[in-house]
Chains A and B, each alone.
Chain A
């Protein structure tokens, strides 16, 4: 695959109830990304938006955000999945050779609506939705129990992942203030409220308001714009069946296939030793382990060893740090790029050269997308 560079990015500081109109939030992110790369609005050739009609309270949610997203009189399109899918869309547009600079942003404000009830509208309306017991909590619980049973993992191991994420959040200046818990213990996680047995409240991220923007450019342009671009060398995407009953929830086949495609394109043979940083977007702490194992970062059922050795798993705090629907996957990409650029202040992994970032959408990570990033100008 031809290399595509990440030349600029900006993440708005997430808040539970942001004191900004959608217009301003997107403007701040997009302007910040342009300023970080030293570019002007006229340099943008295409804009890929990631917003959702339900999350925005209006249909054709991108039409209202044209000016704020820098898309006025430009080629613009919308992805209604995760921010990482928007990045993939931008990548295709760059690789087509028609575009020289792609602005990608993801945005939503869960403070304006109830996130979990809206997620239920993803479900099959005739069968699953009427049962009213299938929701993000119960699917997370089912997935966690399936994983624990299949590999003999106990709750403590999964609580440890949440603890590490909360501790990492406290080092990340752009993490949600409510998620910064440097003194949390495994027992605190296990004592928190049960969302859906065995899933606990502290194993589930808090939806928060935010916006993230990123700029992609082809190889030649990237080198003109910055001395220190981050290269996207591989990308893979895979879609699994919708029906939860048709899948083995203890593993993620779609993530495995997506990661294999991405590694093949990037020429990575041994991900365990070659990858330094993994920014995995998991809806729950358990899903994070399942996805990390599916990405071949550790053996099946032994994902918990990633907390101590091997590739650094979510040094930014992962989805716990900023769980903004439509922007989480894009934030993971930005965090991975920060590590490779050496800009992760306070949580830098020294000598990070290759990283992966993942995004997902759907119940129990139905659709997964993996990016392989490489540093070095």
Chain B
């Protein structure tokens, strides 16, 4: 009996394939062209926020899409180096034995922006001294390369509100 047409000489050829999914191999995509202006600004020492023309929300760090309006904001605005602490906490690193104090983690609202971002403060600062509404100033990295790490940390600056409060209390 002749072989049916569907049996060919290459019958034995097959392909083995091992299942794998490693997070290390996953290529995360990010379109850098949209943040180019922001990163170039950081390199030159400017802090830029992104303003939505529809709802006037200024986001810093820039959000590529305004969730409220479902549009892509495209208006870059210059922001000052100062900001205020929106909230904060302390991080205890149990692995680092040299660190004597916990490192403060703060959420900074850059002046002129509507969003906050998380950053750190110098290691020598006592985290008990930070409070909500405390004015801070961005400290630039020694060498600016045009990346997110160009702002090294936020440092405390003099708070005029403390003096005013004292005067109020004296009255």
Question: Chain A: residues with CB nearer than 8 A to chain B?
Answer: 18-24, 27, 30-31, 34, 41, 54, 57, 66-68, 70, 72-73, 109, 111-114, 116-121, 123, 129, 132-133, 135, 137-138, 141, 145, 148-149, 152, 154-155, 194-198
Contact = CB atoms under 8 A, between A and B. Distances in A.
A70 B5 CA distance: 54
Contacts of B27: 111-113
Interface in B70-93: 70-72
Interface in B1-57: 4-6, 8, 10-21, 23, 25-31, 34
Given A19-B31, A68-B65, A41 B20 contact: no
Contacts of B67: 66-67, 72-73
Contacts of A119: 19
A197 B11 contact: yes
5 contacts: A24-B64, A118-B19, A118-B21, A155-B5, A196-B14
A267 B124 CA distance: 76
B26 to A, nearest CB: 4
Contacts of B34: 21, 24
A123 B19 contact: yes
A133 B30 contact: no
B65 A21 contact: no
Contacts, number: 112
A196 to B, nearest CB: 5
Nearest to A123: B19
A133 B18 CA distance: 8
Contacts of B28: 57, 112
A68 B34 CA distance: 15
Nearest to B71: A31
Contact of B26 (A67, A112, A152): A112
Chain B binding site: helix, strand, loop or mixed by DSSP? loop
Contact of B15 (A21, A135, A154): A135
Nearest to B22: A113
- Most chain A beta-carbon contacts within 10 A, residue among B6, B29, B66: B29
B11 A129 contact: no
B68 interface: yes
A66 B16 CA distance: 38
Interface of B: 4-6, 8, 10-21, 23, 25-31, 34, 63-72
Given A117-B19, A121-B21, A154-B5, A197 B14 contact: yes
B20 to A, nearest CB: 5
Nearest to A25: B29
Contacts of B10: 194, 197
A39 to B, nearest CB: 10
A8 to B, nearest CB: 14
Contacts of B70: 27, 30-31, 34, 41, 67, 70, 72
A18 B31 CA distance: 10
A67 B19 contact: no
B26 A57 contact: yes
Given A41-B70, A67-B66, A114-B20, A198 B8 contact: yes
Contacts of A70: 70
B17 A137 contact: yes
B50 to A, nearest CB: 13
A70 B72 CA distance: 12
Contacts of A21: 29-31, 34, 64
A24 B73 CA distance: 12
Contact of A120 (B8, B17, B31, B64): B17
A141 B6 contact: no
Contacts of B11: 197
A117 B14 contact: no
A221 B63 CA distance: 33
Contacts of B26: 57, 112-113
A24 B31 contact: yes
A133 B6 contact: no
Given A23-B64, A57-B26, A117 B6 contact: no
B65 to A, nearest CB: 5
Contacts of A120: 17-20
A107 to B, nearest CB: 12
A82 to B, nearest CB: 19
- Most chain A beta-carbon contacts within 10 A, residue among B14, B23, B27, B71: B14
B18 A132 contact: yes
A44 to B, nearest CB: 9
Given A149-B6, A195-B15, 15 more contacts: A18-B29, A19-B31, A21-B64, A24-B34, A41-B68, A66-B67, A70-B70, A117-B20, A123-B19, A132-B16, A133-B16, A135-B16, A138-B15, A141-B14, A154-B6
Minimum-distance CB pairs A-B, first 3: A120-B19, A72-B67, A67-B67
